[in-house]
Structure 1
Amino acid sequence: MTTIYDRIKEISNKKGVSIDYVNDKAGLSNKAIYGWKKSTPKADNLQKVADVLHVSTDYLLGRTDEMNPAQSNNGLSGFDEEIMMAFDGKPIPDEDKEKLLEFARFLRSQRGK
């Protein structure tokens, strides 16, 4: 049986970030996610992790295999929200991430012309 922790680990690996990174970004206590191997998290903490990973809580709970069932199909929704980016398995520094986002916003604006 796949646990909540297993789902978090799986999606974190796909996004190229560590469990500790997700834990910190979600504002949880030190190593909280590791404790979910054997216990069930509070709903608000699970939502924080889902928000960081950009997946639904239903996905983390194993109720669905769709990571973002309610997400819009336009490919640009949530574009300006905080996103995680990685290259070669390592998180991209915030200053580089901002440069990449600026370029992506530029490309998006050019499409609209």
Structure 2
Amino acid sequence: MTTFERIKQTADERGLNLKQTALKAGLSENALYRYNQGVKPKFATVKAVADVLDVSTDHLLDNNINEMHANKKIADPVDLAKVLSEEGVAVFNGQPLSKEYKNALLAVLNTMKDTGK
């Protein structure tokens, strides 16, 4: 699989298209398509794309395909109950969750906790 194909596949898995991925990485909207035409990406570009997609550069470059997050720092735990019950923006697939949706998710999590599942 080429670097372009790995970027495209990973972006698809994240709910992004290549244009969105490029723009979030600070690139021109068609920048990533050049890599499908034989242009070799610069490391700084791969790093920016990897950060947007939350994967390691090794994953995109196929240096270690089995360790998708090998170079990524493990994030601090997030208390979902706190995030879902407080004011502020919570997002899913890049879209903000409404207060009603956050409350519904919190109710589902509480029900699962209470039933031991």
Gaps of 5+ in 2: 79-90, 107-117
Residues 1:34 and 2:33 aligned together: yes
Residue identity opposite 1:68 in structure 2: H
Larger Rg: 2
Taking the aligned partners of 1:25 and 1:47, their CA distance within structure 2 comes to: 12
Bigger share in helix: 2
- Does residue 69 of structure 1 match 2:65? no
Paired residues in the alignment total: 89
Q: TM-score, normalised by structure 2?
A: 0.63
Q: 5+ residue gaps in structure 1? A: 78-83, 105-113
Structure 1 segments (4+ residues) deviating >4 Å: 72-75, 97-100
Structure 2: distance between partners of 1:28 and 1:64: 25
Which residue is 2:46 aligned to? 46
CA distance, structure 2, for counterparts of residue 49 and residue 9 of structure 1 = 11
Instruction: Output the CA distance in 2 between the equivalents of 1:98 and 1:26.
Output: 27
Counterpart Cα distance in 2 of 1:18 and 1:31: 11
**How far 1:40 moved relative to its partner?**
0.8
Distance change >3 Å, CA 97–CA 60, structure 1 → 2: farther
